[in-house]
């Protein structure tokens, strides 16, 4: 062992190591320069959390617009129904229309029940926020 100084040798490269090396070279030579070329400056980058907050704001804004539209539409329909019901009641009272008394009772009761039902559904579903209710249920 006098002249035998052995230097540690590296293990022989396997095909898997060669593949990993070529993927890293590809990444370094092609993908990274493309990413750097198209990357936004740091002050213009938007985080995923900010994108989520923006999407939530947009969703709430659209939901509010739809709720306002439905609220106004339901209000117009309910006012129209009340006006029609009152016209029928007045015309019956003036004997312009001849409607049986029990029929008139059923009509008025049914119409008022329908109006109360629509208002209940509108208040419960159009103007409820599930996230708010979930936070305040407990």
What domain range is 111 assigned to? Answer: 47-136
**What is the C-alpha to C-alpha distance for residues 20 and 27, in angstroms, rounded to an integer?**
10
Residue 57 lies in a domain: yes
pLDDT digits (tens, 9 = 90+) for 30-85: 766 666 666 666 666 667 777 788 888 898 898 888 888 988 898 899 899 999 98
Instruction: Work out how many domains the chain is built from and give that number.
Output: 1
| Per-residue pLDDT, 4 | 53
| Per-residue pLDDT, 138 | 47
pLDDT digits (tens, 9 = 90+) for 83-123: 998 999 899 989 999 889 899 899 989 999 988 988 888 88
Long-range pairs for 76-79 at CB < 8 Å and ≥24 separation?
Answer: 77/118, 78/115, 78/118, 78/119
């Amino acid at each position: 062992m006098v002249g035998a100084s052995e230097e540690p040798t590296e293990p022989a490269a396997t095909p898997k190591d060669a593949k990993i090396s070529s993927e890293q070279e590809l990444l370094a030579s092609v993908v990274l320069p493309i990413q750097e070329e198209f990357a936004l400056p740091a002050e213009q980058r938007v985080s995923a959390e900010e994108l989520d907050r923006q999407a939530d704001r947009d969703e709430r804004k659209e939901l509010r617009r739809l709720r306002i539209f439905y609220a106004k539409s339901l209000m117009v329909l309910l006012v129209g129904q009340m006006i029609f019901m009152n016209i029928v009641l007045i015309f019956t009272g003036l004997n312009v229309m001849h409607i049986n008394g029990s029929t008139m009772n059923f009509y008025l009761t049914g119409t008022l029940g329908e109006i109360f039902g629509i208002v209940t559904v509108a208040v419960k579903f159009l103007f409820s926020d599930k996230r708010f209710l979930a936070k305040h249920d407990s």
